Amino acid sequence: MFNENSSPQPPRILTTATEINGNFRTLMNNNLPLKIRFPGREQRYLSYIVAVDRENASLALDEFVPNTALRLLQSGDEFHVEAHIDGVRINWSHQQTGIPAEINGHPCLWFKFPEAMRYHQRRGTFRANVIPDQPASITIAGKTLTTPVSGRLLDISATGCKVHIDSANTNLKAGQLYESCSLIMPHGSLGLSVEARHVQAIEENDITKVGLRFHQVDGVTQRNIERYVYQLQREARRDEGGELF
């Protein structure tokens, strides 16, 4: 009943500095590799983001491997970058000469943020279970509700969440949009609108389970939700003793 649609999502073009900065910081903080290619050349290169400067809209890349890319970089050849964040493919291009510098004694190259970034969720969204000792909740409110309804999150994905409410009488209706909600996560709260996709009232236990889909969230809110889902996924893998990446 509460499963997400597993079909791939259409790509989005990100153009705001906030959205682009958020992706760069996620790649940097999680030490995720960048795959780099120069048009017309077969050789592929590897690098990492080692610093992000939001104020100056710039990022620093580690030395490329193999280092034969140095000549191309010094001449200002265009190059394309691709990276992956939990099922999402991100790619962008640079058409500028990198500025050599050092960070903690290691050489790097600074580049300006690209004007646009392609963000493509290639598979269905990952649904992460909320950690019991780090509870999250949501308060559902809107014009059609006389009293806000609060519940705890059971799980969450980039596009929605499943909620447990300690009452079988919530007045929530499937298909209804609730435009004044507050999603409360361990690192802060977000205001957003949700659509009730499924409402299951269980009278004998006096509870309701609700499947919610986030509705037309802005880029900053979306990135905060995705960062929380990503954090939960990493915690789950750590608890299972698996490889993080």
Among the listed ranges 189-193, 210-214, 241-245, which one has the minimum average pLDDT value?
Answer: 241-245
Among the listed ranges 126-135, 198-207, 220-229, which one has the minimum average pLDDT value?
Answer: 126-135
6 within domain boundaries: no
Q: Are residues 111 and 135 located together in one domain of the fold?
A: no
pLDDT interval class at 125 (50, 70, 90): low
3 within domain boundaries: no
Is a pLDDT exceeding 50 seen at residue 80?
Answer: yes
Residue that finishes a domain, picked among 104, 121, 138: 121
Average pLDDT over residues 115-124: 78
Average pLDDT over residues 72-93: 86
Which pLDDT tens digit goes with each residue over 180-196?
A: 999 999 889 999 999 99
Q: Which amino acid would we find at residue 59? A: L
State the DSSP string of 130-185.
Answer: PPTTS--EEEE--TT-SS-EEEEEEEE-SSEEEEEES-S-----TT-EEEEEEEEE
The average confidence (pLDDT) of the chain is 86
Q: What is the pTM of this model?
A: 0.53
Is a pLDDT exceeding 70 seen at residue 86?
Answer: no
Strand bridging mode 137-140 / 149-156? antiparallel
Residue that finishes a domain, picked among 102, 121, 140: 121
State the CB neighbour count (10 A cutoff) for residue 212: 28
Number of domains composing the chain: 2
Residue that finishes a domain, picked among 121, 154, 184: 121
CATH number at 182 reads 2.40.10.220
Structural domain that includes position 116 = 12-121
194 within domain boundaries: yes
Is a pLDDT exceeding 50 seen at residue 52?
Answer: yes
48 within domain boundaries: yes
pLDDT interval class at 44 (50, 70, 90): very high
180 within domain boundaries: yes
Q: Are residues 53 and 135 located together in one domain of the fold?
A: no
Q: Are residues 43 and 139 located together in one domain of the fold?
A: no
CATH number at 107 reads 2.30.110.10
State the CB neighbour count (10 A cutoff) for residue 94: 21
Alpha-helical segments (H) within the chain: 17-29, 69-74, 219-240
pLDDT interval class at 9 (50, 70, 90): low
Is a pLDDT exceeding 80 seen at residue 72?
Answer: yes
Q: Are residues 117 and 135 located together in one domain of the fold?
A: no
Which pLDDT tens digit goes with each residue over 141-184?
A: 999 999 999 999 999 988 899 999 999 999 999 889 999 999 99
4 within domain boundaries: no
Q: Are residues 153 and 230 located together in one domain of the fold?
A: yes
- What is the pLDDT, as a whole number, of residue 3? 42
Q: Are residues 147 and 195 located together in one domain of the fold?
A: yes
